[in-house]
Amino acid sequence: MCGIIGYVGPDEVVPVLLDGLRRLEYRGYDSAGMAVLGHDEIGILRAAGKLGNLEQKAYHEPLHGKVGIGHTRWATHGAPTEANAHPQTDSGGQVAVVHNGILENYGRLRHELLDAGVELQSDTDTELIAQLLGREEGSLAERVLAVLPRLEGQYAVVAVHQAEPDVVVAFRNGPPLVIGLGEEENLVASDVTALLHRTRRVVYLENGDIAEIRRDALRLLDVSGGEIERAVDTLVWDAARVEKGGYRHFMLKEIFEQPDAIRNTVRAYLDQERRGVNLDGLGFSREELVRLRRIHLVACGTSWHACLVGKFVLEELTGLPTEVDYASEYRYRTPLVGDDVLVIGVTQSGETADTLAAMEMAREAGALLATVCNVRGSSAWRLAPSQILTQAGPEIGVASTKAFTTQLVAMVLIALGLRSARGLADETDAELVSGLQRLPQAVERALAIDDEIFALGTEMLADATDSLYLGRGILYPIALEGALKLKEISYLHAEGYPAGEMKHGPIALLQEGFPVVAVVPGGTNRNKLISNLMEARARGAAVLAVADEDADEIADVADLTLRVPKVHSLLQPVVTVVPLQLLAYHVAVELGLDVDQPRNLAKSVTVE
């Protein structure tokens, strides 16, 4: 969602802001803008659409200064027009504000300001913050302290004031903000990808923090105006990992990074002798683990699919009943949670608003709380006392790929950790550990499918408006994930189903040439799925199968088969999803679509 960047330093600010916004593009946006503190007034540039439009404006209407703020907006209140783009200003043009989030008391504040005679220029909730700040007195930080009690909802705000040309002020309640501490310069951004190339020293703002940022100083205040301190963290991510590195798209690069991402995640949690997992009880005490009766997995989107696979893994390996919920549903129902439940929030970004709210709720109910997360220092990371870090590195493509496969690996690691802490470990564990160690090579083989085969697959899917993805057992969630990948980046409708459900409705869709993508499981489920495919074929469907190398019988029912290596059944989802990611990628490229930044989607969904 919206990207925020702010800078105070020795450099001309416009290129710094544009560069920061480029690095934040992946979050998803539909307009962009910047404010530069000049000599007489705040210079504002805004443009609807892609960043290139703002760059054009910056070229034709140059602004100069060393302090400024920039924003990419993902529309919530008001259409994605230039007037609604950020920064928004107060009526006097003295205060400029960029904002990520939603003000829930927008209607009331708007009426109050209109009744007070303020002429609003936009439909945004952000302008209300600028107007409120403009009507207060004192320094910008003092104004923020005065306005904060009037703001309800989630916000990350960065503001500047013409009267203080060397200061940027940032404050948050919900969406993240991180300060980058540089040499003779300081920055603030909505995530670290915009800072990495300038500094590795960062301070994460907590909810309620107000940061007064100068070129050579950072002052942090709490909501009562008292000075506070926050730890300085050092980023371990390499700036080169947020570049495309010769690949045409981030998504393709990230798909091919999966062997390394998996290798790093497995290595991080194997014990020294590499015989077991170094995750004993996830850091919970013996008493807490003895009490443990159930597991709840909460997540959104692709991470939710990882949880569905996790249910199979955790139930089979730990015997603990495991429920999977969409975080957006969990937070509004009354789940039975107490100190005998382990709640795991699974989130690539660690910033998904619904997942964070569900985790918070579980914590308040006394559950053991853990997170599987890809971003160290993120909100989920800081909320959960137990953290399992997937080592996928920065994921820039909106469509999640390497984060997903490392989440699948994390599920197995967690199960092994719980088994060892609960005294359940036996030869299965050694088998899985060795399977995990061989997994990167298996994924490499899954990546080696010939492009010509993908060309045939692309032909089958790209010409159709709908398709059905079928799977069974532990590979059923992979059918859901394959369908989601296709939908997200190619805008073609795809429906994932457990194959056994086909006869209960979706079979009505089938007709000559209708594409059915079959994710072929092993074991007894294989023949059952093949029978379902026969039924699909009998109705003229075109069948594209993803199957392991042993599944010879698939050749009789599939028009095209993408082969993956056969691995341990609990690891099979990891290799099986790879050709489905590539297939979605090739279809989107064939259709000429924006693979890395699909329309309407945001990488990090920081509002509910």
Active site residues per annotation: 2, 603
- Please say whether the beta carbons of 375 and 325 come within 8 A: no
Antiparallel, parallel or unpaired: β 233-234 and 201-204: antiparallel
| Identity of the residue, 209 or 488, whose beta carbon is nearer to ligand M6R in the bound complex | 488
DSSP-assigned beta bridge partners for residue 594: none
List binders of ligand M6R among 337-396 (CB under 6 A): 347-349, 352, 355
Distance of closest approach, residue 530 Cβ to ligand M6R, in angstroms: 29
Q: Is residue 596 within the footprint of ligand M6R (CB under 6 A)? A: no
Contact with ligand M6R (CB under 6 A): which of 18, 156, 279, 300? Answer: 300
Footprint on residues 434-493 left by ligand M6R (CB under 6 A): 488
399 binds ligand M6R (CB under 6 A): yes
Nearest to 283 by CA among 432, 375, 421: 421
Q: How far is the CB of 424 from ligand M6R (least distance, A)?
A: 29
- φ, ψ (nearest 5 deg) of residue 180: -105, 125
* Nearer Cβ to ligand M6R (258/349): 349
Cβ 203 to ligand M6R shortest distance, Å:
22
Q: Which of 205, 389, 398, 413 binds ligand M6R (CB under 6 A)?
A: 398
Could you tell me the two tokens for 535?
């039924």
Task: Say what angle helices 402-421 and 258-269 make with each other, to 10 degrees.
Answer: 20
Q: DSSP letter for 277, please.
A: B
Is 572 near ligand M6R (CB under 6 A)? Answer: no
Per the DSSP assignment, residues forming a β-bridge with 470 are 497, 518
Minimum distance, C-beta of residue 101 to ligand M6R, in the bound complex (Å): 16
Residue environment code for 551-573, b if the CB has 16+ CB neighbours within 10 A, otherwise e: beebeebbebbbbbbbbbbbbbb
Sequence letter at residue 263 = R
CB of 316 to ligand M6R, least distance (A): 24
Percent of the chain that is helix, strand, coil (3-state, to 5): 40, 20, 35
The mark string for 305-344 relative to ligand M6R (x by CB under 6 A, - otherwise) is ----------------------------------------
Helices (H), ranges, 502-544: 524-538
The residue from 303, 328, 391, 406 that contacts ligand M6R (CB under 6 A) is 303
Contact pick of 318, 386, 400, 532 for ligand M6R (by CB under 6 A) = 400
Under rule CB under 6 A, residue 193 binds ligand M6R: no
Q: How far is the CB of 380 from ligand M6R (least distance, A)?
A: 8
Residue for token digits 């259709």?
591
Q: Which is nearer to ligand M6R, 302 or 572 (CB)?
A: 302
For residues 251 to 290, the per-residue mask of contacts with ligand M6R, x marking binding by CB under 6 A and - elsewhere, is: ----------------------------------------
Size of the site for ligand M6R (CB under 6 A): 15
- Between 33 and 393, name the residue whose CB sits nearer to ligand M6R: 393
Nearer to ligand M6R, 379 or 386 (CB): 379
Task: Report yes or no: 2 and 190 within 8 Å, Cβ to Cβ.
Answer: yes
Q: Which is nearer to ligand M6R, 371 or 386 (CB)?
A: 371
**Residue 525 interacts with ligand M6R (CB under 6 A): yes or no:** no
Nearer to ligand M6R, 57 or 249 (CB): 249
Strands lying side by side in the sheet with 178-181: 42-48, 31-37, 67-73, 3-8, 186-189, 178-181, 201-204, 233-234
The interface region with ligand M6R, picked from 53-61, 398-406, 444-452, 493-501 by CB under 6 A, is 398-406
- The candidate with the shortest Cα–Cα distance to 356, out of 84, 606, 22, is 606
d(CA 495, CA 56): 41
Asked if 302 is part of the footprint of ligand M6R (rule: CB under 6 A), the reply reads yes
CB of 392 to ligand M6R, least distance (A): 11
Give the nearer residue to ligand M6R in terms of CB position, either 161 or 485: 485
Is 176 one of the binding residues for ligand M6R (CB under 6 A)?
no
Return the number of the residue (110 or 586) whose C-beta is nearest ligand M6R: 586
The residue nearest ligand M6R at its CB is 301
Interface with ligand M6R (CB under 6 A), residue from 176, 180, 301, 498: 301
Shortest distance in whole angstroms from residue 231 CB to ligand M6R? 24
Q: How far is the CB of 260 from ligand M6R (least distance, A)?
A: 20
CA gap 12, 47 in Å, rounded:
20
Residue 271 CB neighbours (<10 A): 13
Q: Which of 85, 292, 486, 605 binds ligand M6R (CB under 6 A)?
A: 605
Using the CB atoms, write b or e for 125-136: b if 16+ within 10 Å. bbbbbbbbbbbb
Do you know the residue count of the chain?
Answer: 608
- Output the DSSP codes for 220-272: EE-TTS-EE----EE--S-GGGGS-TT-SSHHHHHHHTHHHHHHHHHHHHB-T
Q: Which two tokens stand for residue 453?
A: 């085969």
Residues at the site binding ligand M6R, with contacts judged by CB under 6 A: 300-303, 347-349, 352, 355, 398-400, 488, 601, 605
